[in-house]
Amino acid sequence: MTAQAVRARVQPTQVLAGLVALAMLAYGIVGLTRTGFGGFASGDHPMLGPFSMNPLLNVVYVVGGAVGFLLCWASATARLYGWIVLAASVVLVAWGLVLVGFTASNPVSELGNPLNLNVADNWLHVGTAVLGLIVAVLPARRVVVEQPVEQVPEPATEPVAAQQPVDAAPVNTAPVDSDEPERRQTGAHRFSRFRGRSAH
């Protein structure tokens, strides 16, 4: 068995992005139940604890939560959602600091305060900016998977047949009778002499 580290199917950034989206969606819905939709961008609405609200701000939270639910199903889009939350929260913090008199002048005084922001809202948006940054840069989680070692089959080889000894051609080792022609000649000579005698 061999161990191999692979990316987990569900990344921590996706889980955290889903939780941030759920919190924003819940905050916006609860706010709308208290403010309704009348006086959409006005500042005469009840507060939710130390936080001020109005219908426009509640709609912003609901839309932000809905977008988060759409983007948290993949690691890359969840990180994108983190950057979006970070950028939007930084803008809200900067705007809120100007509205509460943190700066000497108010360059956006002509815009008023359509989101009805206060000091507590600024701290809330600082917290959401930090969460957005964490979602964007949270490292990927890896899990160790045990994988069986593949056995490499040995190449099949045909068995080599044992070579049988080749029988040499039989050699005639019988002694050659070199006197056989001479005997044949002697027999013929005797036969001729016998015929000569019989003729006389």
Structure tokens at 2: 């061999």
Return d(Cα 11, Cα 136) in angstroms, integer: 12
| pLDDT one-digit tens code per residue, 75-128 | 999 999 999 999 999 999 999 988 887 777 777 777 888 999 999 999 999 999
Amino acid at 86: L
| pLDDT for residue 105 | 76
pLDDT at position 42, please?
Answer: 87
Residue 145 in 3-state DSSP?
strand
Residue 3: pLDDT above 90? no
Dump pLDDT digits (tens) for 21-80.
999 999 999 999 999 998 898 888 888 889 998 999 999 999 999 999 999 999 999 999
pLDDT band at 161 (very low <50, low <70, confident <90, very high): low
Q: Could you tell me which of 71, 100, 103, 97 has the C-alpha nearest to residue 84?
A: 71
Q: Evaluate if residue 172 carries a pLDDT over 70.
A: no
| 3-state secondary structure labels for all residues of 160-175 | CCCCCCCCCCCCCCCC
Please state the rounded mean pLDDT for residues 3-8. 59
Q: In angstroms, what CA-CA distances link 129 with 90, 91, 135, 151, 152?
A: 6, 10, 10, 52, 54
Quick one: pLDDT at residue 64? 96
| 20, 88 Cβ separation under 8 angstroms | no
pLDDT of amino acid 181: 53
pLDDT in tens, 173-200: 555 555 555 555 555 555 555 455 544 5
